[in-house]
Amino acid sequence: MALRVALVGGPMYDGLYSLLPRDADLVVHADHPTLNRAVAELLTAGERIDLLSTHSKYAPSQAQWLTPLDPELARDLAPRAVDLCTYDGALLCVPRNVDVRVMWARHDRVDDPPLTWEALVGADAIFGFTGRESGLFGTFFEHVASHGGALFDSDHQPTIDTAQGVEAVDALCRIAHRGPPALPSWHYDDVDAALGTGIVDMAATWPGGFAALRASPAAPQLSPHPYLSGPAGLRSYSGSHGWAMPRTCGDVPAALDAIRRLSSFEAHALDAESGTVCAHVDAFASVAPLDAVDAARLDIIRATIADGMITYPPLPRFPDIEAAGWSWINAALKRELSPTEAVARIQRSAEATLAAD
């Protein structure tokens, strides 16, 4: 019986899938928002999925469909990544990586890269960022947090409609409006492509996109830098992709065997070849820099993991809050709403979403 799998797709993810059985049935293979929607429909209908690629941010919303996993599966993995993948005391997914942002700037165009939000808003440099879905809401969150704000209070109630929230949307609009007209439609891979082909002067990328960036036409002109900071410091939205086993799994031994294989030193070392921060402690420690640029990149990544990581609260309804939130920010980028109105609508939609529970 072939293993039925649902996987996130893209250049930074697909290299590891060669370790899956050759006869695996690829039920879904798409960007993460699309994957989440398709998986929710399939699992709600009771469809069989044996292995699921998910994310620490999304796993709480999928908890009703996921089988808690034995922590022993994650014994060699970074404790912080394991914590991110644990919800209500249960390991919902085995971490694949740790994601933090790295800023890249073209040193042939930008002599002194603006590395604070305020400097970037006031600069002429063209900065590329994701203009929709999770990437956009994450960038909004980073700006708010780096300026001392919070999207939720200690009771996980939304605190989005604040001066910091309005300032964040206003800053994103100012940056986007001097960029390419297509920016509000960009997803992660579009930002990487814009940076690699020279459409933008600067952009922050996830570590897993490094191999493609290194092979791009712009690579000789790109230098790594810490991500953007504010008065409260550098804040990079972070999380872990991971492997989960839905309750509809039809072959538990095969699914667990696949998770063990994907969690091995060899699998994580293979993943690290693309530049990703693999979650296997020994595998990541064994990564040797390719050159001085890569050594600088790895130093930036380690420093950001140590001091700059921020994550969303483990709210089962967070994907719904995010889905509504990015759409209002996107409308502001397209000049359809003011930053003030966009933030007010995010707050109202978040309150309504949580009240529905």
Q: Concatenate the DSSP letters of all residues of 316-337 into one string.
A: TTHHHHHHHHHHHHHHHHTTSS
Do 146 and 163 lie in a common domain?
yes
50 in Cβ contact with 249 (< 8 Å): yes
Do 217 and 170 lie in a common domain?
yes
SS3 label, residue 214: helix
Do 181 and 317 lie in a common domain?
yes
C-beta contacts of 15-20 below 8 A and 24+ residues apart:
15/270, 15/271, 15/273, 15/274, 16/96, 16/262, 16/267, 16/270, 16/271, 19/261, 19/262, 19/267, 19/270, 20/51, 20/258, 20/262
Is position 306 within any domain? no
Do 243 and 204 lie in a common domain?
no
286 in Cβ contact with 269 (< 8 Å): yes
Do 231 and 176 lie in a common domain?
yes
Do 124 and 213 lie in a common domain?
yes
Q: Is 136 left (phi over 0), alpha (psi -120 to 50) or beta?
A: alpha
Sequence-ordered strand ranges (E) for 197-345: 202-205, 222-225, 229-230, 233-234, 236-237, 241-244, 309-310
Is position 300 within any domain? no
SS3 label, residue 4: strand
Q: What is the pTM of this model?
A: 0.92
- Give me the percent of the chain exceeding a pLDDT of 70: 100
Q: Report the CATH number at residue 111.
A: 3.40.190.10
Q: How confident is the model at residue 313 (pLDDT cuts 50, 70, 90)?
A: confident
Is position 293 within any domain? no
Do 251 and 336 lie in a common domain?
no
DSSP conformation letters of 149-194: --SB-TTS-B--SSHHHHHHHHHHHHHHHTS-TTGGG--HHHHHHH
Q: How do residues 140-163 score in pLDDT, each as one tens digit? A: 999 999 999 999 999 999 999 999
Do 163 and 258 lie in a common domain?
no
Domain count, the chain: 2
Q: How do residues 103-118 score in pLDDT, each as one tens digit? A: 999 999 999 999 999 9
Is position 143 within any domain? yes
Do 125 and 158 lie in a common domain?
yes
- From CA 325, how far away is CA 48, in angstroms rounded? 31
221 in Cβ contact with 108 (< 8 Å): yes
6 in Cβ contact with 53 (< 8 Å): yes
50 in Cβ contact with 246 (< 8 Å): yes
Is position 106 within any domain? yes
- From CA 28, how far away is CA 8, in angstroms rounded? 8
Cα 107 from chain centroid?
A: 26
Q: What is the mean pLDDT of residues 109-129?
A: 96
Do 159 and 209 lie in a common domain?
yes
Do 219 and 333 lie in a common domain?
yes
Q: How confident is the model at residue 192 (pLDDT cuts 50, 70, 90)?
A: very high
Do 59 and 109 lie in a common domain?
no
- From CA 303, how far away is CA 309, in angstroms rounded? 10
| Residue 162 belongs to domain spanning | 102-237+311-355
Is position 35 within any domain? yes
Q: Would you state the pLDDT for residue 312? A: 87
SS3 label, residue 102: strand
Q: What is the mean pLDDT of residues 116-144?
A: 97
